[in-house]
Structure 1
Amino acid sequence: MGIKLYYTSVTASRTVKSQQGEVRRLLDSKSIQYELIDISAGSELRDDMRSKSGNPAAVPPQLFNEDQYCGDYEMFSEAVEADTVEQFLKLA
Protein backbone atom coordinates (compact mmCIF):
# COMPACT_ATOMS: atom_id res chain seq x y z
CA MET A 1 0.00 0.00 0.00
CA GLY A 2 1.24 3.48 -0.81
CA ILE A 3 0.12 5.93 1.86
CA LYS A 4 1.31 5.33 5.40
CA LEU A 5 -0.04 7.24 8.37
CA TYR A 6 2.15 7.07 11.44
CA TYR A 7 0.00 7.63 14.52
CA THR A 8 -0.14 6.64 18.17
CA SER A 9 -2.95 4.88 19.97
CA VAL A 10 -1.48 5.96 23.32
CA THR A 11 -1.27 9.70 23.90
CA ALA A 12 -2.17 12.14 26.65
CA SER A 13 -2.18 14.96 24.11
CA ARG A 14 -5.65 16.02 22.98
CA THR A 15 -4.03 17.91 20.12
CA VAL A 16 -2.29 14.82 18.71
CA LYS A 17 -5.46 12.74 19.14
CA SER A 18 -7.62 15.33 17.35
CA GLN A 19 -5.09 15.86 14.54
CA GLN A 20 -4.85 12.12 13.95
CA GLY A 21 -8.64 11.84 13.81
CA GLU A 22 -8.93 14.73 11.39
CA VAL A 23 -6.30 13.27 9.02
CA ARG A 24 -8.08 9.90 9.03
CA ARG A 25 -11.50 11.48 8.40
CA LEU A 26 -10.18 13.53 5.49
CA LEU A 27 -8.39 10.58 3.91
CA ASP A 28 -11.53 8.46 4.33
CA SER A 29 -13.75 11.20 2.85
CA LYS A 30 -11.51 11.32 -0.23
CA SER A 31 -11.48 7.49 -0.46
CA ILE A 32 -7.69 7.46 -0.17
CA GLN A 33 -6.50 4.11 1.13
CA TYR A 34 -3.77 4.20 3.75
CA GLU A 35 -1.92 1.95 6.14
CA LEU A 36 -1.94 2.82 9.83
CA ILE A 37 1.36 2.39 11.66
CA ASP A 38 1.04 2.68 15.44
CA ILE A 39 4.32 3.98 16.87
CA SER A 40 3.22 3.04 20.40
CA ALA A 41 3.72 -0.62 19.41
CA GLY A 42 7.48 -0.18 19.68
CA SER A 43 10.17 2.47 19.93
CA GLU A 44 11.75 1.22 16.69
CA LEU A 45 8.61 2.36 14.80
CA ARG A 46 8.85 5.82 16.37
CA ASP A 47 12.56 5.99 15.57
CA ASP A 48 11.84 4.85 11.99
CA MET A 49 9.19 7.58 11.58
CA ARG A 50 11.56 10.23 12.91
CA SER A 51 14.45 9.03 10.79
CA LYS A 52 12.39 8.96 7.56
CA SER A 53 10.89 12.40 8.26
CA GLY A 54 14.32 13.88 8.94
CA ASN A 55 13.09 15.30 12.25
CA PRO A 56 14.39 13.72 15.48
CA ALA A 57 11.51 15.33 17.42
CA ALA A 58 8.66 14.47 15.01
CA VAL A 59 5.34 13.56 16.60
CA PRO A 60 2.37 11.88 14.94
CA PRO A 61 0.53 12.20 12.70
CA GLN A 62 3.17 11.92 9.94
CA LEU A 63 2.34 10.97 6.35
CA PHE A 64 4.42 9.04 3.84
CA ASN A 65 3.97 7.61 0.37
CA GLU A 66 5.85 4.33 0.77
CA ASP A 67 9.12 5.64 2.25
CA GLN A 68 8.84 9.13 0.74
CA TYR A 69 8.06 11.75 3.37
CA CYS A 70 4.96 13.81 2.56
CA GLY A 71 4.63 15.87 5.72
CA ASP A 72 3.08 16.39 9.12
CA TYR A 73 -0.36 17.57 10.21
CA GLU A 74 0.29 21.26 9.51
CA MET A 75 1.48 20.55 5.97
CA PHE A 76 -1.46 18.18 5.37
CA SER A 77 -3.89 20.81 6.65
CA GLU A 78 -2.45 23.41 4.26
CA ALA A 79 -2.82 20.95 1.36
CA VAL A 80 -6.46 20.35 2.30
CA GLU A 81 -7.16 24.10 2.30
CA ALA A 82 -5.41 24.51 -1.06
CA ASP A 83 -7.21 21.41 -2.43
CA THR A 84 -3.86 19.78 -3.29
CA VAL A 85 -4.06 16.65 -1.12
CA GLU A 86 -3.29 14.28 -4.01
CA GLN A 87 -0.15 16.25 -4.91
CA PHE A 88 0.84 16.48 -1.23
CA LEU A 89 0.56 12.70 -0.93
CA LYS A 90 2.50 12.27 -4.19
CA LEU A 91 -0.46 10.49 -5.81
CA ALA A 92 -0.76 12.88 -8.76
Structure 2
Amino acid sequence: MADMLQVFYTSVSSSLEIKKHQEKIFLILDGKKIQYKPVDISQNSEDKDLMRKIAGNPTALPPQICKGNVYCGDYAAFENAVEMEQLEAFLKL
Protein backbone atom coordinates (compact mmCIF):
# COMPACT_ATOMS: atom_id res chain seq x y z
CA MET A 1 0.00 0.00 0.00
CA ALA A 2 2.98 2.29 0.62
CA ASP A 3 3.63 2.73 -3.09
CA MET A 4 -0.04 2.80 -4.08
CA LEU A 5 -1.07 5.52 -6.50
CA GLN A 6 -3.21 8.05 -4.62
CA VAL A 7 -5.43 10.79 -5.93
CA PHE A 8 -6.17 13.47 -3.35
CA TYR A 9 -9.56 15.04 -4.09
CA THR A 10 -12.41 16.71 -2.30
CA SER A 11 -16.06 15.68 -2.26
CA VAL A 12 -16.93 19.16 -1.00
CA SER A 13 -16.00 21.98 -3.36
CA SER A 14 -17.79 25.01 -4.69
CA SER A 15 -15.31 25.12 -7.58
CA LEU A 16 -16.70 23.66 -10.78
CA GLU A 17 -13.16 23.62 -12.20
CA ILE A 18 -11.86 21.43 -9.36
CA LYS A 19 -14.81 19.05 -9.76
CA LYS A 20 -14.24 18.75 -13.52
CA HIS A 21 -10.51 18.16 -13.05
CA GLN A 22 -11.10 15.43 -10.46
CA GLU A 23 -13.70 13.74 -12.65
CA LYS A 24 -11.38 13.73 -15.65
CA ILE A 25 -8.53 12.16 -13.67
CA PHE A 26 -10.83 9.42 -12.31
CA LEU A 27 -12.31 8.78 -15.78
CA ILE A 28 -8.89 8.42 -17.41
CA LEU A 29 -7.44 6.21 -14.66
CA ASP A 30 -10.57 4.02 -14.63
CA GLY A 31 -10.59 3.85 -18.43
CA LYS A 32 -6.97 2.66 -18.46
CA LYS A 33 -7.69 0.28 -15.57
CA ILE A 34 -4.99 1.90 -13.45
CA GLN A 35 -5.49 1.12 -9.77
CA TYR A 36 -5.47 4.05 -7.40
CA LYS A 37 -6.74 5.04 -3.99
CA PRO A 38 -8.98 8.13 -3.89
CA VAL A 39 -8.26 10.17 -0.75
CA ASP A 40 -11.01 12.65 0.16
CA ILE A 41 -9.29 15.55 1.96
CA SER A 42 -12.63 17.08 2.98
CA GLN A 43 -13.23 14.18 5.38
CA ASN A 44 -9.93 14.42 7.25
CA SER A 45 -7.69 17.45 7.74
CA GLU A 46 -4.70 15.13 8.24
CA ASP A 47 -5.14 13.95 4.63
CA LYS A 48 -5.15 17.56 3.45
CA ASP A 49 -1.98 18.26 5.42
CA LEU A 50 -0.37 15.12 3.98
CA MET A 51 -1.34 16.11 0.42
CA ARG A 52 0.22 19.55 0.89
CA LYS A 53 3.35 18.08 2.49
CA ILE A 54 3.87 15.61 -0.37
CA ALA A 55 3.19 18.33 -2.95
CA GLY A 56 5.65 20.61 -1.16
CA ASN A 57 3.07 23.40 -1.31
CA PRO A 58 1.29 24.66 1.83
CA THR A 59 -1.63 25.98 -0.27
CA ALA A 60 -1.96 23.11 -2.78
CA LEU A 61 -5.53 22.41 -3.87
CA PRO A 62 -6.92 19.11 -5.07
CA PRO A 63 -6.65 17.17 -7.23
CA GLN A 64 -3.06 16.15 -6.48
CA ILE A 65 -1.53 12.82 -7.46
CA CYS A 66 1.20 10.88 -5.70
CA LYS A 67 2.62 7.38 -5.58
CA GLY A 68 3.27 6.50 -1.98
CA ASN A 69 5.03 9.56 -0.62
CA VAL A 70 6.43 10.56 -4.02
CA TYR A 71 4.71 13.52 -5.63
CA CYS A 72 3.59 12.98 -9.24
CA GLY A 73 1.86 16.29 -9.89
CA ASP A 74 -1.32 18.30 -10.12
CA TYR A 75 -4.07 18.33 -12.75
CA ALA A 76 -2.13 20.44 -15.26
CA ALA A 77 0.83 18.06 -15.11
CA PHE A 78 -1.53 15.06 -15.38
CA GLU A 79 -3.27 16.52 -18.42
CA ASN A 80 0.08 17.31 -20.05
CA ALA A 81 1.29 13.73 -19.46
CA VAL A 82 -1.90 12.37 -21.07
CA GLU A 83 -1.47 14.65 -24.12
CA MET A 84 2.21 13.69 -24.49
CA GLU A 85 1.32 10.00 -24.03
CA GLN A 86 3.61 9.82 -21.01
CA LEU A 87 1.00 8.99 -18.40
CA GLU A 88 2.70 5.83 -17.10
CA ALA A 89 6.02 7.66 -16.64
CA PHE A 90 4.19 10.55 -14.93
CA LEU A 91 2.43 8.14 -12.56
CA LYS A 92 5.72 6.29 -11.95
CA LEU A 93 4.18 2.96 -12.97
For Structure 1 versus Structure 2, the TM-score category normalised by the shorter chain is over 0.9
Amino acid of the structure 1 residue aligned with 2:80: E
Q: 2:87 corresponds to which residue?
A: 85
2:27 paired residue number: 25
Q: Does 1:16 align with 2:13?
A: no
Spell out structure 1 runs of 4+ moving beyond 3 A: none
Q: Deviations over 1:21-50 (max 9, x none)?
A: 000000011110100100001211111100
Question: Per-residue displacement from partner, 1:30-84 (whole Å, max 9, x unpaired)?
Answer: 1101001000012111111001110111101100111110000000000000000
Identity of matched residues, %: 47
**Deviates further, 68-77 or 38-47:** 38-47
Three-state SS of the structure 2 residue aligned to 1:63 is strand
Aligned pairs for 1:20-59 within 5 A: 20-59=22-61
TM-score scaled to structure 2, two decimals? 0.95
Q: TM-score normalized by structure 1? A: 0.96
Let me know the Cα RMSD of the aligned residues: 0.7
Identify unmatched segments of 5+ residues in structure 1. none
